[in-house]
Each structure stands twice: as structure tokens, then as C-alpha cells.
Amino acid sequence: TVSVLYWSSSMSLSEPAVILHRLQQDREKLQARLAAVQRREANACEQLTAVSHDEQRFEQVVADLKLRVATAKLVLDAIDAKAGEAALVTSELRADTGHLRRVAAQRAAVASKLDGAARQQLARAHQLARREKPAEPLPKAIAPEDVAALEEDVSRMRERQATVSRLLHDTLHPTM
């Protein structure tokens, strides 16, 4: 506390020295308080500066996170597009696989018929050799255009299979 002293003519000569001493003490106390307030003010300014820097860093982190989220959305959209392409190609491959199975079944049936016909011809040849009768004509072979069509189907199937493999690889290992 600060002492408030008044000078009066009835005071003794030693009283001004006491008053002066008290005033000096009050001044020292006020200076100490002023220094403490100035230190608190400096600390508050430092803290305010630190908070301002933290806010700037936080805003930068938020901006970086928004950019990463946008990039992730783009990557997910690209993956979805590739997955759609892969699903379409997979569907086409299933259809082609069904077609190739039918073609293979037809080939097997033709091979079976040819094998059966060859066995019949062999049996007839044995019979004819025993009887010496004229042989029946051999069954005709698969037409060259049928073989070419089957080879073309197989080639198309291999191309689609390569496309699916590439799409699956691109989907599983996207490049940025």
C-alpha cells in the first residue's frame, strides 16, 4: 500500500526524514510492481505471439489435410472407374468363356465323332480285309474355315484376358 502523508507545521524535524523514507519505500514498491506488470505484459505478448504462430501452423495443417482429402477422393474415383472397367471386362470374359466352352464342346463332339468314325473305318477295314469287300468312304475332316474361326475366338479371348489382367494390376497398383 502507498502511504499518503501530509506535511503539517506542527511536525518535528525528524518527521520529514521519516516521511521521505516512507515515500522512498513506496516508490520502490511501486517500481517493483511496475516491473512485475511489465514482465507479465512481456510474457503475455510472447504467449500471444506463440498462439498466433500456432494458429498459422494449425491453418496450414488444416489446408494440407483438405488437400489430402481431395487427393484421396480423386484416387477413390479413379479406383471406382477402374473397378467399373474391370467389371465390364470380367462380364465380357464370362460371356467369351461360355462361348469358348461351347466351341470346345463342339470340338470334342467332332473329335469324338471322328474318333468313332475312325474306329468304324478301322473295324470295317479289318472286316473287309477278312471279307475283301470294298471299303466305305472315310468321313470328311473339319473344314479349314471352322478351324480359322476357332483360332480367332481363342485369340480374342486371350486379348481380353490380357486387358483384364492389366486393369486389375492398374486397380491394385495405381500410379500417381
pTM across the whole model: 0.39
Is the Cβ–Cβ distance between 150 and 107 less than 8 Å? yes
pLDDT, tens only, 15-42: 888 889 999 999 999 999 999 999 999 9
Determine the pLDDT at residue 100: 83
- Alpha-carbon distances of 39 from 1, 33, 49, 50, 51, rounded to whole Å: 20, 10, 15, 16, 18
Phi, psi for 120 (deg, rounded to 5): -60, -45
Domain extent listing, the chain: 14-172
What is the C-alpha R_g of the chain? 51
pLDDT, tens only, 91-105: 888 888 888 888 888
Is the C-alpha dihedral spanning 115, 116, 119, 121 positive or negative? negative
Query: Helices H, strands E: what count in the chain?
Result: 2, 0
Cell numbers linked to 120: 468304324
The total number of residues shown for the chain amounts to: 176
Mean pLDDT by 10 residues, the chain (176 residues): 50 75 94 96 94 93 94 93 89 85 82 75 72 55 74 84 81 71
